[in-house]
Amino acid sequence: MRIKDIDAVLPQTQCQECGYAACLPYAEAIARGEADIAQCAPGGVETLEALAKLMGVDATPYRQEVQQRYRPPSVAVIDEAYCIGCLKCITACPVEAIVGSAKMMHTVLPDVCTGCELCLLPCPTDCISMMAVSSEKKIPASAARRHYGAKKERLQKMSDAKKVSIPDSIKAQRDYIESARLRVLAKKSTPNASG
């Protein structure tokens, strides 16, 4: 079974409730036969049935458990009166659904928020809460997948830039100091170096 086909039926909430870092790694684990089909709480029975069909397995033994763990769609809301602009929620958000800068209040973009709840725990002032939304208001999986990919790509570019520029500048600094030290040593060891 192709990973892409499995990922296509996952809700793309990117909430990590399945025990994997995002929807795609869960899809990969199912494809490898390492994960069962009942681990996606936001997907509910709909996702369970779709996975069962794809993988050619019976969903019946999982149905009750999945129904119990189902988490209906929601979006995060920030109580701006208590927001201290610490940026922790922005770091935790898998899809860039939060806007704001350091020491300024932050706001959630409801059209981008997947309802993953990953911003709740890191918030030091407990000013983020979840608000239920109807299924129609829930972000489509295709858009959530795109937003997740865009953030991942941006973080990767930032990390690549650091790998290139920071070590390079440190190396250049070290090289300069070393060459200066060698010049001084060479000067000292040369007779009549000072004239």
User: Hey, which residues between 100 and 159 contact ligand SF4 (CB under 6 A)?
Assistant: 106, 108, 113-119, 122-125, 127-128
Q: How many Cβ atoms sit within 10 Å of the Cβ of residue 50?
A: 18
15 forms part of the interface with ligand SF4 (CB under 6 A): yes
Residue among 172, 171, 168, 83 at smallest CA distance from 129: 83
Number of residues that bind ligand SF4 (CB under 6 A): 45
Least distance from C-beta 156 to ligand SF4, angstroms?
19
29 forms part of the interface with ligand SF4 (CB under 6 A): no
Query: What dihedral do alpha carbons 11, 30, 68, 112 form, nearest 10°?
Result: -20
Q: What are phi and psi of 132, to 5 degrees?
A: -65, 140
Instruction: Tell me which of 6, 9, 26, 145 binds ligand SF4, using CB under 6 A.
Output: 26
Nearer to ligand SF4, 124 or 167 (CB): 124
Residue among 109, 105, 99 at smallest CA distance from 83: 105
Nearer to ligand SF4, 57 or 186 (CB): 57
Q: What are phi and psi of 191, to 5 degrees?
A: -60, 145
Query: For residues 76 and 29, what is the distance between their CA atoms, to the nearest angstrom?
Result: 28
73 forms part of the interface with ligand SF4 (CB under 6 A): no
DSSP assignment, residue 129? E
Which part of the chain contacts ligand SF4 (CB under 6 A), choosing from 55-63, 90-98, 149-157, 169-177? 90-98
Instruction: Tell me which of 6, 9, 18, 35 binds ligand SF4, using CB under 6 A.
Output: 18
Residue among 173, 38, 41, 58 at smallest CA distance from 114: 41
Instruction: Tell me which of 3, 8, 28, 41 binds ligand SF4, using CB under 6 A.
Output: 41
Interface residues with ligand SF4 (CB under 6 A)? Answer: 10-11, 13-18, 20, 22-23, 26, 40-43, 76, 78, 83-89, 92-93, 95, 97-98, 106, 108, 113-119, 122-125, 127-128
